């Protein structure tokens, strides 16, 4: 398959600027691969597709307020700093993206906060927009992290062309988020409310939690026609034995195992044993899933509607079947489904 197979015309008005009023009341398209059918439901109807002993695999990563605004020394120019990952906690070194990048050189200092209580020095250029910063702050590590949280902003995607609101801090986060480290939300999970999770639990559905800290690489466009030449950014992944036990028991009983989101799917496909069971894992993954691909663990998935030419769309094509996916996307556009992070959802059975 080639990149051009994943291009389609997405009307701008279908990119969701705001989340649905209630988490579990976004729309849900249900696709049955065996029957080749497409149904239109509400997200809370998802409960009707799961029974006692089935498993939902959830990515429990937590988004941190990764977007900071600072001023360059001397010129006072406003600079956006996007925190990507911490490199060294003792030295307070971080990998970041800066914008506008052309103004930011090694040795420059950036000042944050009305009182300039946080300062960063540029110590390396990593890519055209990437820099390594050393933060200078008088205080303990915990106080430094609190300061980053205080000054940072919820990193809603750039296509959402509006100011960040207080509501974003809550809604651009799953209700089961625990392990801080993501700079983008695992968005399929945003549709679950506490009430819906409780109802699933009462029905006997089990939850297996994995942690994949979503990086900005998830939004990186594919720029090569030959997909096998695309390189994914590495993201940190932790799968504990407890999650493996829940999943493998359900697999042994031929139960429904549902990956909630492309990040959960990437996580589990990154650590499969030779017997096609889930293995514990701690490390990094740069797994890129595109057609054709044999999925080893999950037999259904929940996902949002993705943008043209994205790696996420390629994974959905591999799981759903390309023709059925195209048909579903044509219908989603015709029916006015909302796309992307705050958009509607799809259940692929």
Chain segment 299-345, per-residue pLDDT in tens: 999 999 999 999 999 999 999 999 999 999 999 999 999 999 999 99
Whether 57 and 72 map to the same domain: the answer is no
- And the tokens for 133? 């910063």
For residues 99-120, give the mean pLDDT.
92
Whether 35 and 81 map to the same domain: the answer is no
Question: Does some domain include residue 161?
Answer: no
pLDDT value, residue 184: 94
Whether 216 and 77 map to the same domain: the answer is no
Whether 192 and 255 map to the same domain: the answer is yes
Give the H/E segment covering residue 196.
helix 194-202
Whether 266 and 124 map to the same domain: the answer is no
Whether 73 and 190 map to the same domain: the answer is no
pLDDT value, residue 98: 94
pLDDT value, residue 117: 86
Give the domain-ending residue among 113, 129, 153.
Answer: 153
Question: Does some domain include residue 298?
Answer: yes
Whether 44 and 104 map to the same domain: the answer is no
Rounded CA gap, 233 and 228, in Å?
A: 14
Considering the entire predicted model, what is its pTM?
0.94
Give the domain-ending residue among 153, 185, 203.
Answer: 153
pLDDT value, residue 4: 95
Longest Cα separation, the chain: 66
Whether 281 and 343 map to the same domain: the answer is yes
Whether 85 and 55 map to the same domain: the answer is no
Give the domain-ending residue among 153, 183, 202.
Answer: 153
- Residues spanned by the domain of 121: 67-153
- The set of residues, in sequence order, having a beta carbon less than 8 Å from that of 214 and lying 6+ positions away, is 59, 61, 63, 182, 183, 184, 185, 186, 235, 263
pLDDT value, residue 224: 94
Rounded CA gap, 162 and 148, in Å?
A: 22
Tens of pLDDT, residues 222-255? 999 999 999 998 999 999 999 999 999 999 999 9
- The set of residues, in sequence order, having a beta carbon less than 8 Å from that of 189 and lying 6+ positions away, is 58, 59, 174, 176, 260, 261
pLDDT at 220 over 80: no
pLDDT at 36 over 80: yes
**Which CATH number do you get for residue 200?**
3.40.1780.10
Per-residue pLDDT band for 168 (boundaries 50, 70, 90) equals very high
Question: Does some domain include residue 158?
Answer: no
Per-residue pLDDT band for 115 (boundaries 50, 70, 90) equals confident
pLDDT at 139 over 80: yes
Residue pair 287/269 in contact (Cβ under 8 Å)? The answer is: yes
pLDDT value, residue 26: 97
Whether 255 and 198 map to the same domain: the answer is yes
| Tally of structural domains, the chain | 2
**Which CATH number do you get for residue 125?**
2.40.10.240
Whether 177 and 73 map to the same domain: the answer is no
Question: Does some domain include residue 219?
Answer: yes
Per-residue pLDDT band for 103 (boundaries 50, 70, 90) equals confident
pLDDT value, residue 54: 98
Residue pair 285/234 in contact (Cβ under 8 Å)? The answer is: yes
Tens of pLDDT, residues 155-164? 999 889 899 9
For residues 202-211, give the mean pLDDT.
98
The answer, yes or no, to whether the previous bond of 292 is cis (omega within 30 of 0) is yes
Question: Does some domain include residue 162?
Answer: no
């Amino acid at each position: 398959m080639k990149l051009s197979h994943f291009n389609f015309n997405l009307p701008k008005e279908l990119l969701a600027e705001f989340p649905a009023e209630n988490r579990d009341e976004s729309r849900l398209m249900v696709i049955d691969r065996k029957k080749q059918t497409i149904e239109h439901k509400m997200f809370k109807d998802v409960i009707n597709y799961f029974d006692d002993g089935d498993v939902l695999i959830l990515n429990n990563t937590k988004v941190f307020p990764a977007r900071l605004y600072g001023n360059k020394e001397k010129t006072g120019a406003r600079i956006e700093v996007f925190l990507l990952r911490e490199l060294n906690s003792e030295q307070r070194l971080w990998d970041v993206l800066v914008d506008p990048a052309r103004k930011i050189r090694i040795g420059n200092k950036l000042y944050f906060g009305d009182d300039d209580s946080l300062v960063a020095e540029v110590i390396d250029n990593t890519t055209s927009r990437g820099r390594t910063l050393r933060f200078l702050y008088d205080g303990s590590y915990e106080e430094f992290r609190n300061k980053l949280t205080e000054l940072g902003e919820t990193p809603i995607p750039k296509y959402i062309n509006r100011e960040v609101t207080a509501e974003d801090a809550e809604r651009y986060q799953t209700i089961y988020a625990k392990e801080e480290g993501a700079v983008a939300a695992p968005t399929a999970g945003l549709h679950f409310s506490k009430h819906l999770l409780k109802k699933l639990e009462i029905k006997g559905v089990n939850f297996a939690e994995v942690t994949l800290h979503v990086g900005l690489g998830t939004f990186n466009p594919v720029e090569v026609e030959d997909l096998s030449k695309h390189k994914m950014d590495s993201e940190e992944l932790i799968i504990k034995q407890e999650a493996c036990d829940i999943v493998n028991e359900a697999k042994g009983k031929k139960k429904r195992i549902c990956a909630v989101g492309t990040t959960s799917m990437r996580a589990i496909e990154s650590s499969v044993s030779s017997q096609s069971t889930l293995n514990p894992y701690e490390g990094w993954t740069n797994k890129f899933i595109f057609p054709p691909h044999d999925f080893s663990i999950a037999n259904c998935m929940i996902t949002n509607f993705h943008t043209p030419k994205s790696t996420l769309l390629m994974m959905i094509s591999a799981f759903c079947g390309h023709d059925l996916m195209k048909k579903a996307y044509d219908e989603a556009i015709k029916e006015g489904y909302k796309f992307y992070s705050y958009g509607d959802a799809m259940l692929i059975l």
